[in-house]
Chains A and B, each alone.
Chain A
């Protein structure tokens, strides 16, 4: 009998992440639909709504460029993850992996590597469109620092929620459609598609405040827009502390939901 130690979770996570990336890059349909869609929406919105915001010198297209990063992360982290895990469960990938020495952590880490790579690429694309097409000003170093933690918290919270939600999705075939319902609804409520968010009834803003998307889009507007635009936020402030708090809470909630709901195989009928 072999007494050699099994490869570390870090090694197996990397091996899994590599396959996930190959898999994604080679599947062009997935590439186009998850990746190009947010950038395309940004181009559309930005081109249609060009007006300046009440003589602030900031155009609606620049506001969209900042807010749409939240949508980009939702797509690459929440939807890709949710649908991906549901598909892995349905087609037996999870089952096959469960029959090997791999740990659940290594499985999730592999997915997380994919999601991080996708989210970085997606966000970079959206920022580039903003900078090059809509003349969004590039922020200073302090703002980039905020961007870094905002990006990581957002990606992690959305990923964890995506994995948790994958357990409720019955069929992988419909996962994309189902997962996009909360995504699109929250985009409308959270100041991504419709901004200033203050146009919404107060109670709707309250509802949106319970979810991460409002805080994500608000945070990205802080990073990329002049300080004067904070007057268009629900509280009239950027509320960075509260943003970190809510996103951090969603990371914890998502993680707990993951641990409680994660299943290797489909539920027995």
Chain B
């Protein structure tokens, strides 16, 4: 799958292999939704080329849609129809839909199946929207902030469902603001900044590249270890050493503690999370402005 470029999205090129989950990250206005809109055939690309499942989303719209599942951020549901009726409607558009009742049960919507859309909670509306995207057995799904507004339980159900989709060979492209969501679900992450790709790779690779950036040492209070890193002692006896810490650096720090005659009782390393990587990238972007 290749994507072209729109004015909000500049020179982005991505691939989602079959049965993989790609997460698009970026702050509001980074171009995530614009990019999705081009792939979904809602907007033409102003330049470049966009191919989804080998098809042009606008020119070959009718051939593409039966193979796609699209979950929009909001809107577009008949407020006076019930959740069950709505899912039935969208199921009726497909050649071989999943049984709507089964999907409703899978998403924990049994209690609200007879509730009119306007009376559903935000999380229930999200789950219905997800069900609508999946009911046609798509090969590729676009999920725009799939778990926004869901409670913890619904979020975990949704995550499990996305993992099952991947196991079934469905490709997933999702946008999210939740870094733990991306870290848990995504095989690959694309961090977007001002319409361009700021970083891309597997979550583990992105965080590993950054290395260990914090060492926590518990020892006697009031020590002043002479190391070339920033040392803070927030609580007496608990030291935090920050910086790019490789094995040699850690050994050197611990040696300093030993030279000072300290009794070290605990050592803990903290690897950078996806959130740290993300913040580092987006904060850098803020400094550019």
Residues of A within 8 A of B (CB): 1-2, 4-7, 11-12, 15-16, 19, 22-23, 26-27, 91-103, 264-265, 268
B87 vs chain A, min Cβ distance (A)? 11
Q: Which of chain A's residues have a CB closer than 8 A to the CB of B145?
A: none
Starting from the known contacts A12-B93, A95-B72, A101-B62, 13 additional A-B residue pairs (CB-CB under 8 Å) come to A2-B66, A5-B95, A6-B93, A15-B89, A23-B78, A92-B75, A93-B75, A98-B42, A99-B65, A99-B68, A99-B72, A100-B93, A103-B62
CB proximity to A under 8 Å, residues B225-283: none
- Render B55-72 as a binary contact track against A, CB cut-off 8 A, 1 for contact: 000000010011110101
Q: Say whether B95 contacts A22, CB under 8 Å.
A: no
Point out the residues of chain A lying under 8 angstroms from B80, CB to CB: 22-23, 26-27
* Contact, CB under 8 Å: B85 / A22: yes
Q: How large is the interface on B (under 10, 10 to 19, 20 to 34, 35 or more residues)?
A: 20 to 34
Cβ-defined contact, B75 with A96, below 8 A = yes
Contact A19 B89 (CB under 8 A): yes
In the assembled complex, B13 has its CB within 8 A of some CB on chain A: no
Secondary structure at the B interface, as helix, strand, loop or mixed, is loop
Asked whether any CB of chain A lies closer than 8 Å to the CB of B208, the reply is: no
A92 to B78, CA, bound (A): 10
Distance from B43 Cβ to chain A, minimum over Cβ atoms (Å): 7
From the candidates B40, B72, B81, name the one contacting A19 in the complex (CB within 8 A): B81
* Residue B90 is within 8 A (CB to CB) of chain A in the complex: yes
| Minimum Cβ distance to chain A for residue B7 (Å) | 10
Question: Which 8 residue pairs are nearest across A and B when measured between Cβ atoms?
Answer: A92-B75, A96-B76, A92-B76, A4-B95, A99-B70, A26-B80, A15-B92, A101-B66
Contact with A along B131-160 (1 / 0, CB 8 A): 010001101000000000000000000000
**B42:A99 contact, CB within 8 angstroms:** yes
Q: Is the CB–CB distance between B96 and A4 below 8 Å?
A: yes
Task: Point out the residues of chain A lying under 8 angstroms from B41, CB to CB.
Answer: 98-99
Measured in the bound complex, the distance between the Cα atoms of B61 and A102 in whole Å is: 11
The 8 Å CB contact of A11, one of B43, B68, B74, B92, is B92
- How far is the CB of B84 from the nearest CB of chain A, in Å? 12
Residues of B at the A interface (CB closer than 8 Å) are 40-43, 62, 65-68, 70, 72, 74-81, 85-86, 88-90, 92-96, 116, 132, 136-137, 139
Closest to B71 in A: A99
30 A-B contact pairs sorted by A residue (CB < 8 Å): A1-B139, A2-B137, A4-B95, A5-B95, A6-B94, A6-B95, A7-B92, A11-B92, A12-B92, A15-B88, A19-B78, A19-B85, A22-B85, A23-B78, A23-B79, A91-B75, A93-B76, A95-B42, A95-B75, A96-B132, A98-B42, A100-B65, A100-B90, A100-B93, A100-B136, A101-B66, A101-B94, A101-B95, A101-B136, A103-B62
Which residue on A lies nearest to B132, using beta carbons? Answer: A96
Q: Are A22's CB and B42's CB within 8 A? A: no
- Whole-angstrom CA separation of A93 from B75 in the bound complex: 7
A5 cross-chain contacts in B, Cβ below 8 A: 95
- A96–B135 Cα distance when bound, in Å, is 14
> How many angstroms from the CA of A114 to the CA of B120 in the assembled complex?
25
Output the least CB separation between A100 and chain B (Å).
5
Q: Given A19-B78, A23-B81, A103-B62, are A96 and B72 also a contact pair (CB < 8 Å)?
A: yes
B75, A22: Cβ atoms closer than 8 Å: no
Is B77 a contact partner of A96 (Cβ separation < 8 A)? Answer: yes
Collect the chain B residues with CB atoms within 8 Å of residue A15's CB.
88-89, 92-93
B40 close to A101 (CB less than 8 A): no
CB distance from B65 to the nearest CB of A (A): 5
CA distance A19 to B116 in the complex (A): 12
Residues from chain B with a CB closer than 8 A to the CB of A16 are 89
For residue B53, which residue of chain A has the nearest CB? A1
Residues of chain B within 8 A of A268, CB atoms compared = 43
Q: Are B42 and A92 in contact (CB under 8 A)?
A: no
CB distance from A85 to the nearest CB of B (A): 14
A102 touches B42 (CB 8 A): no
Residues on the B chain within 8 Å of A101, using CB: 62, 65-66, 93-95, 136
Q: Which of A6, A101, A268 has the most CB of B within 10 A?
A: A101
B70 to chain A: closest residue by CB: A99
Q: Are A2 and B65 in contact (CB under 8 A)?
A: no
A27: which B residues are within 8 A, CB to CB? 80
The residue on B at minimum CB distance from A264 is B42
In the complex, which of the residues B75, B86, B139 has the most CB atoms of chain A within 10 Å of its own CB atom? B75
Minimum C-beta distance from B145 to chain A (A): 15
> If the complex has contacts A23-B81, A100-B136, A265-B42, are A95 and B95 also in contact, measured as CB distance less than 8 A?
no
Residues of A within 8 A of B116 (CB): 26
Q: Which residue of B lies closest to A5 (CB)?
A: B95
Chain A proximity of B102: nearest CB distance (Å): 17
**Most B Cβ at <10 Å: residue of A92, A96, A100, A102:** A100
Using A6-B66, A19-B85, A99-B42 as known contacts, say yes or no to A93 and B78 having CB atoms under 8 A apart: yes
**CB closest residue in chain A, given B78:** A23
